[in-house]
A and B are shown apart, each in its own frame.
Chain A
Amino acid sequence: MFRKTLEIGTSPHIISGNSTDTIMRNVVYALLPVAAYAVYVFGLAALLLLITALGACLLTEYMLNRWAGNPSPLNDWSVTITGLLYGLTLPPHLPLWMVFLGGVFGVAFGKFIFGGLGYNVFNPALVGRAFIQAAFPVAITTWMTPFTADRFAHIPSSTLTLPFLEPVYDITSGATPLALMKFEHHTTDVYQLVMGMTSGSTGETSALLIVLGGLYLIARRMMDWRIPVALLGAVYILSTFFHFIDPTRYPDGLFMLFSGGLMLGAIFMATDMVASPITHAGAALYGVLIGIMVYVIRVWGGLPEGVMYAILFGNAVSPHIDNFIRPRVYGTGKKRSLS
């Protein structure tokens, strides 16, 4: 009567709803509106750039794991996030060959050599971008004006620059709001920043869509809200404080929040689970540290933007935060009251 195969295996025999691939896939969903808007703002250049970035990352992940004899990790969706994020942090008309090179570098040296998903110390997308920043410092700080009339008809010549050649820019380049602020003491209107009507990296211009994506992930419990809240809070408080002291030298809090890559970084990159602390208290501290670092680089450093370096710095201290901040183990340490 009972001739059937029964499953054995170890307890617990039930598990909760979200699996790793589901979480990662939802991060991709949250990024899609940001990517779509980037294409709308910057046209074909952004489209080609995102496809190249994604392709470089996926291809590198696939080839390296095939070479190492690992099962294909593409189905966990993590490298898709890396590819999209990496593309979104680049200037829209960066030559595609540079985009490709940085993507390969980010996945190979930001992820694969550490052991793949779960073992990377730094956010691979930012490793790729840092590589571009070091190798092509001019190209990565040359910005394109948004909403050019022929953006869907014309591919900028810089985008199609042949490998290892210097790009030639055929369209007007616009300074980013942060550069304007830093070098010309000109503040951009916050409304323009929120709606993404300024120059900047491909995906960092629309703070609104980035925040919506973050809220979606927080609502689905797929993101630790403490990191963006602590990070943005630290930046806002610092800038408001210094703005109060000397409004002519220091920009105000809202401008700082909505300009540059801060929103994209705080919501989608500092929250990379692998490279951030594992306790809530640690995550909050990590957020604050990155926030302080962003402010210091932007205001007193030599660069107009500091989000990337600040997050990489946060990634580096994250394991140390985990060593210092641990949950108190039941029955150890502080003695509980005896009632």
Chain B
Amino acid sequence: MGLFNTLPTFQRGIHPGDFKDLTRHLPIERMPFSAELTIPLSQHLGAPSKPRVKVGDTVQRGQLIAEPGGFVSIGQHAPVTGTVTAIEPRPHPTGRMVESIIIATDPFSPQTFYNEHPMDWEALSPRELISLIQHGGFVGLGGAAFPTHVKLSVPEGKHARFLIVNGVECEPYLTSDHRVMLEEYDDLFYGIRILQKILDVRQVYIGVENNKEDAIEVLRNHVPDDMACEVIALETKYPQGAEKMLIEAVLHREVPSGKLPIDVEVVVNNSGTITGIGHMFRFGQPLIERVVTVTGPGIKRPANVRVPIGTPLTELLNFCGGITDDTRQILFGGPMMGAPQARLDVPILKGTSGILCLTENEINVREEYPCIRCLRCVDVCPVGLNPSRLGALAKSRDYEHMLDFHVMDCVECGSCSYICPSNIPLVQRFRVAKGLLREQQARNKAS
């Protein structure tokens, strides 16, 4: 270890404070079941799930209540034993109303899990394993909520050589992946074996930033002897958890523009997701709960909580002592990419990695100035874009021209907006532009 020994990382990026001290040392705790849970049929990217239950049905904890509505869709399960009281549109953390299954919890049920047999996964084919993961309701728990089985379904003619476990958790404040790696590494390594079988991959890397030294040590000490798995300590830098950046950091490979990780023989999955998969194959329990970091200066008792999917946000906030009077913003997710909430009667979703309560002191209420071409955004963009130029093009609605400046390669990490001294909402402009360009491309294809 020399003085200038540097840890692997990607190019550029930013160093926001990590603010993880609020919860990094707090063991995962369980919260009581709420009286009523709301399971949106769409809490993932892709087609909504199709209900398999009717109003009035009694459901058991872990029972399938909605099946995949297509290939890019997943199953949903009852997080509690209880009764279906309604299937109707309810407020959703995206701000829309989304068709949801409402379950009233049976107050007298012991809520024990009804099927605790380990599955004999070694006897199953990769195709069967993928189907189990889809019906088990798995999505990327890091926040994107992209159905996991889709990423594991390698297209014909392509082959994965490496599995990268994403234990980076580069969003400030969040510690749920950190605690899960520390406390549930058994399930993680179990899940890795299943993914190895599905993908026919031998070499595994677990990428963890060096602000989680305890997790790095625990994982290194528990890698099974027969598993080709290396735990890689990475420099702490945002957005290292972005798939493309993590591949660059770990393997020094770049995913070609417009392609997927599998095109460079890599599959990346979030550590929490793989832990959940391992848990399901060990104990039969599908994705009905997840660990959520409830944190920020606006929450009275920050905590890492195991929350049943569909728990109302208010219940979770109350469990954590409630919010302070000066709370001004509540986010689903971290401060860099999280979604602000306008109302509190929304449920916790599968993709909800954290609830962040911010006060006046943290939130961005700064005045916007013209771009002064200070080059900070160019200096931090992990993709190597020129956000200043793209921002100007977006402002003049010259979307076509933005294609020449590779707007479609933007990973929407928000580093440019974070660093911009003029407080220009750069990444937001790029999201809008990308959406419009995609629509236009779809229209062109159709005509």
Contact = CB atoms under 8 A, between A and B. Distances in A.
B373 A273 contact: yes
A12 B336 contact: yes
A273 B421 CA distance: 12
Interface string A302-336: 00000000000000000000100011111110011
A13 B257 contact: no
Given A15-B418, A224-B375, A21 B314 contact: no
B375 A283 contact: yes
A118 B371 contact: yes
A243 interface: no
B382 A16 contact: no
Given A6-B341, A273-B373, A278-B373, A20 B414 contact: no
Interface in A238-279: 273-274, 276-279
A279 B388 CA distance: 11
Interface string B335-374: 1111111111000000000000010001111110111111
B252 interface: yes
A211 B244 CA distance: 42
Contact of B338 (A13, A18, A117, A329): A13
Nearest to B314: A2
Nearest to A327: B384
A332 B257 contact: yes
A153 interface: no
Given A11-B337, A278-B386, A332-B406, A16 B381 contact: no
B378 A336 contact: no
Contacts of B427: 10-12
B384 A14 contact: no
Nearest to A16: B419
Contacts of B327: 4, 6
A116 B370 contact: yes
Given A328-B384, A329-B384, A19 B369 contact: yes
A7 B328 contact: yes
A330 B364 contact: no
B14 interface: yes
Interface in B410-447: 414, 417-423, 425, 427-428
Contact of B252 (A8, A19, A339): A339
Contact of B421 (A20, A278, A329, A332): A20
Given A13-B331, A330-B383, A19 B244 contact: no
B220 interface: no
Given A330-B384, A331-B255, A273 B374 contact: yes
Given A11-B414, A19-B366, A336 B373 contact: no
A202 B445 CA distance: 65
A43 B14 CA distance: 47
A69 interface: no
Interface string B1-38: 00000000001001010000000000000000000000
B336 A336 contact: no
Most buried by B among A18, A20, A279: A20
Contacts of A6: 327-330, 340-343
B172 A14 contact: yes
A14 B336 contact: yes
A73 to B, nearest CB: 8
B106 interface: no
A118 B254 CA distance: 34
A51 interface: no
A119 B370 contact: yes
Nearest to B326: A4
Contacts of B14: 16
B52 interface: no
B372 A274 contact: yes
B370 A278 contact: no
B389 interface: yes
A168 to B, nearest CB: 42
Contacts of A280: 375, 379
Contact of A15 (B244, B248, B343, B417): B417
Interface string B234-265: 00000000001000100111111111000010
Interface of B: 11, 14, 16, 172, 244, 248, 251-259, 264, 314, 323, 327-331, 335-344, 358, 362-367, 369-375, 378-379, 381-386, 388-389, 406, 409, 414, 417-423, 425, 427-428
17 contacts: A6-B341, A7-B328, A7-B340, A9-B329, A10-B425, A12-B364, A14-B335, A14-B363, A15-B419, A19-B369, A20-B369, A117-B370, A224-B375, A273-B372, A327-B381, A330-B382, A332-B409
